[in-house]
Structure 1
């Protein structure tokens, strides 16, 4: 038990320091590349913090354990919106760019719709997300990547002279080292947190089902949570929200696409409820963002919704 507590503290330390360095390094890279923090949040940060989901899904697909592969993605996306974005907004209201409201969030909605459509192809349910479906998802990801590239080009054309005082004299190589090292700290620290919390819960008599529905379900989203919370504290809402939306798009179009290409993914009909929730909360994210801000009350509503969803999962078993 003592070792588990020490590992938990060490994991939290790694995650805290890693998140701080990722945000600082990513923001510096954005300025040096003359692109917005949103572009960096949608790409480097969101892809990096999705590394745990990518590893879990590739291993699950190779082992033909598609329940974990699909459940991990849907669960992580719900957690990202309700908890990561919700808690970030509770710390400090999140400013939303117009392009995020009109393009990126609707694209994450399209991603969820695509899973629902591919998982319910006709009357012969349960369905399978085939290798061909995986290629379709990867094609959507290629379109998203091209869109972000165009956004970056426009940023560079419009960017004024860099504000050197905001760079804190961080060199390019050090900024990259901050991001890479920070992401490594997030992944390693996240694994230690999940492992130690699971051992502590078992020692306290908590059932494996409860552990699976809570600690492990949220475990792969620890990097997103830590990074967005640190970004919110520092007032960098573009990275905070870009990380959430980018991760959700990356999870479905790229990670699920890769998973399906490796091995067709079984789609259980019970997942329709979770996908429906993902669609609903994405719509609410759009509604909350209409005034280009997600305030603290809206953030609290999102977190409360996740508490209710977790209770539903426990009852559903």
Structure 2
């Protein structure tokens, strides 16, 4: 029984990652064929696609009566993105943050993180709060798009977004991949959540812990793959932008879903422990990525090691509390 659910969990994670990738691939290819700017596609479809696994898990967990798993996934994914994904990426190759757009958008992560604390502070996630977060999500997408259109033509991230959008993909194939992703995403997430709940119950783990750890790490794998691929191709700003965009969307889009679908009380540990860790990690990333001398900043390997140490420390804190 346990072995079967572990296998289902692994297959669910693999299916979730593959289906999310193909969904984004098809949607981006179709949008490009329809004449939409690659820059706009990169900032909307591709950026939202990196949070698609978290969003589908949030929907499945909320509908299955496990909203703490959904909330834990949103917070845990943000912590994992900063400490594990950014840490490993910087350890592999120091990250140069040269885009003025990225430096401007980093404070938005801090603002949305603080907003999450405000929403969850009373240990309740209400439906109206979920609706507000979702509205802010769409406003943020619109704002980022408008700002992107005003960015300097030589901003390095503009060319990187152009390379990130598929070119020459036949429309029929783009539609096929889009439909495949739309079907496979909810199926994979449903199996993933169901098996995770069984495993958590077997080991005496709460819904929150399973969301903060196993599921959060699993759903952050697309960000890890995209960031490492980006930095190896010399697209440092795209790698950094991927993490920033994912964290903003996790708060505004992913966290809104349990509020809308399963409003109610939340696990107190979310505020007493996990929120503060997410806030601290966000502040550390901000200090590392913003240059106070007006020059492009660099996240070096030592700072990458510090972030990785933070990831290990958090896992120890989580599992020691079981």
State the Cα distance separating 1:92 from its structure 2 match: 1.9
Which residue of the partner structure matches residue 130 of structure 2? Answer: 134
Which residue of the partner structure matches residue 100 of structure 2? Answer: 98
Q: Answer yes or no: is the 8 Å Cα contact 1:26–1:40 preserved in 2.
A: yes
Which residue of the partner structure matches residue 50 of structure 1? Answer: 51
Which residue of the partner structure matches residue 270 of structure 1? Answer: 269
Distance in 2 separating the partners of 1:171 and 1:236:
23
Secondary structure of the 1:268 match is: coil
CA change 1:157–1:94 in 2 (3 A) is: closer
Which residue of the partner structure matches residue 150 of structure 1? Answer: 146
State the Cα distance separating 1:295 from its structure 2 match: 1.8
Q: Answer yes or no: is the 8 Å Cα contact 1:135–1:261 preserved in 2.
A: yes
Which residue of the partner structure matches residue 314 of structure 1? Answer: 319
Q: Answer yes or no: is the 8 Å Cα contact 2:127–2:263 preserved in 1.
A: yes
Secondary structure of the 1:147 match is: helix
Distance in 2 separating the partners of 1:295 and 1:179:
38
- 2:108 counterpart of 1:107: yes
Which residue of the partner structure matches residue 123 of structure 1? Answer: none
Distance in 2 separating the partners of 1:166 and 1:256:
27
Q: Answer yes or no: is the 8 Å Cα contact 1:92–1:235 preserved in 2.
A: no
Runs (5+) with no aligned partner, structure 2: 291-295
Q: Answer yes or no: is the 8 Å Cα contact 2:60–2:190 preserved in 1.
A: no
Q: Answer yes or no: is the 8 Å Cα contact 1:22–1:183 preserved in 2.
A: no
Q: Answer yes or no: is the 8 Å Cα contact 2:96–2:298 preserved in 1.
A: yes
TM-score, length basis structure 2: 0.72
State the Cα distance separating 1:77 from its structure 2 match: 0.8
Distance in 2 separating the partners of 1:161 and 1:52:
26
Deviations along 1:115-134, one digit per CA (max 9) or x if unpaired, are 211222xxxxx531211111
Which residue of the partner structure matches residue 293 of structure 2? Answer: none
More moved, 213-222 vs 134-143: 213-222
Moved over 6 A (4+): 11-16, 18-23, 156-162, 164-169, 174-199
Secondary structure of the 2:234 match is: coil
Q: Answer yes or no: is the 8 Å Cα contact 1:89–1:295 preserved in 2.
A: yes
Deviations along 1:74-126, one digit per CA (max 9) or x if unpaired, are 01111111111211122222232222223x22111111111211222xxxxx5
Q: Answer yes or no: is the 8 Å Cα contact 1:66–1:266 preserved in 2.
A: no
State the Cα distance separating 1:135 from its structure 2 match: 2.0
Count residues with an aligned counterpart: 304
Runs (5+) with no aligned partner, structure 1: 121-125
Q: Answer yes or no: is the 8 Å Cα contact 2:56–2:186 preserved in 1.
A: no
- 2:242 counterpart of 1:243: yes
Distance in 1 separating the partners of 2:43 and 2:262:
27
State the Cα distance separating 1:142 from its structure 2 match: 2.4
Which residue of the partner structure matches residue 71 of structure 2? Answer: 70
Distance in 1 separating the partners of 2:182 and 2:92:
22
Q: Answer yes or no: is the 8 Å Cα contact 1:43–1:246 preserved in 2.
A: no
TM-score, length basis structure 1: 0.73
State the Cα distance separating 1:311 from its structure 2 match: 0.7
RMSD: 4.6
Distance in 2 separating the partners of 1:21 and 1:235:
25
Which residue of the partner structure matches residue 225 of structure 2? Answer: 226
Q: Answer yes or no: is the 8 Å Cα contact 2:81–2:220 preserved in 1.
A: yes
- 2:299 counterpart of 1:294: yes
Alignment equivalent of 1:303, drawn from 271, 296, 308:
308
Deviations along 1:186-245, one digit per CA (max 9) or x if unpaired, are 99999999999999x99xxx9574994643341122222222222222222232122211
